Amino acid sequence: MQAKGTQTVLVTGAAGFIGWKTAKLLLESGFNVIGIDNMNHYYDVKLKEWRKKDLEKYENFRFFQIDIQNLGALKVLFDSYNFDAVLNLAARAGVRYSMENPHVYLQTNAQGTLNLLEMMKEKDIKKMVLASTSSLYAGQPMPFKETLPVNTPISPYAASKKAAEVMAYTYHYLYNMDITVVRYFTVYGPAGRPDMSIFRFIKWIDEGTPIRLFGDGSQARDFTYVDDIARGTVLAMKPLGYEIINLGGGKNPISLKAIIQKIEDLLGKKAKIEYKPFHKADMKETWADIEKAESLLGWKPEINIDEGLKRTVQWYLQNKEWLKDVSVEEGKENI
């Protein structure tokens, strides 16, 4: 998507994995991007600092350390800039940790989204793209279609994202806002989250550390490369009314065992595996029906799992010197 005139877009969670890649795509397409992020320590902040620095190379980028929970700070920001669209990619992520600290998930994912919607209403900004999750489809038949009744979330994380979707619909209905909800399916790629399986597996296999595997490794995911996700998110900025759209691999899901084997081949090293009990809040399998993304956005993924893993491992090896100090633990610091 090419910027019409010079549009200014607010990207929340800009130092996050998907926020960074989406902001970068917007910047390269000629948009002015204002990025905000609270830079929390849910996972090692060194990754966030690296992404932020990468975005700060662009003249059309400005960054502010703001939490979307802070309505006062958002008021100042919205008074200072005229936004053409808001891409709300800020979120507390992580299914397992949401069970330990559910309050912060509701505050960021639901209250934070409400704060942004209120600011948009006040400033008459009509377009939001809201990041949501495949975690909402737990217990539904596959492949997951957007029309499925996702009324039984099985983690506070999924429940908080459902709350954000519902609030977004309310503002669409009441104030004629144009809101596209994009439900992401297991996103991976260079500079990915260190608490996610692919980053961890690469680092652990390379360093000879035993992989902590929850379950027997047969659980499968519809892995989606981050560049494809960013492209779909930017395409979702078009006027659509209110739509929920899956962004996922759309092919048969791939088991964690198969992913480990592919990473072993790329690194030329064998994994040591430490099996842990399957976690109750985890999903056994995810698989996106992406027909709607194709018909409404003209989007489908372009990077297959083998190419995506190759690029991810290459990035890891190129940045190994500083990545060796990056922690793969989540939720251990002051969230």
Mean pLDDT, residues 274-292 taken together? 86
| Residue matched to tokens 């320590």 | 41
The class level of CATH for 8-185+225-250+284-302 reads alpha beta
Domain-by-domain residue ranges, the chain?
8-185+225-250+284-302
Strands of 178-184's sheet, edge to edge?
61-64, 32-36, 8-12, 85-88, 127-133, 178-184, 242-247
Mean pLDDT, residues 303-314 taken together? 98
Taking alpha carbons only, the member of 306, 295, 304 closest to residue 240 is 295
Residue-averaged pLDDT of the chain: 93
Residues marked active site are found at: 157
pLDDT attached to residue 3: 56
Residue 102 CA to residue 107 CA, distance in Å, equals 9
The predicted-structure confidence for 156-215, as pLDDT tens digits, reads as follows 999 999 999 999 999 999 999 999 999 999 999 999 999 899 999 999 999 999 999 988
pTM of the model: 0.94
3-state secondary structure 131-146: EEEHHHHCCCCCCECC
Tokens of 278: 């399957």
Backbone angles phi, psi at 95, to 5 degrees: -65, -50
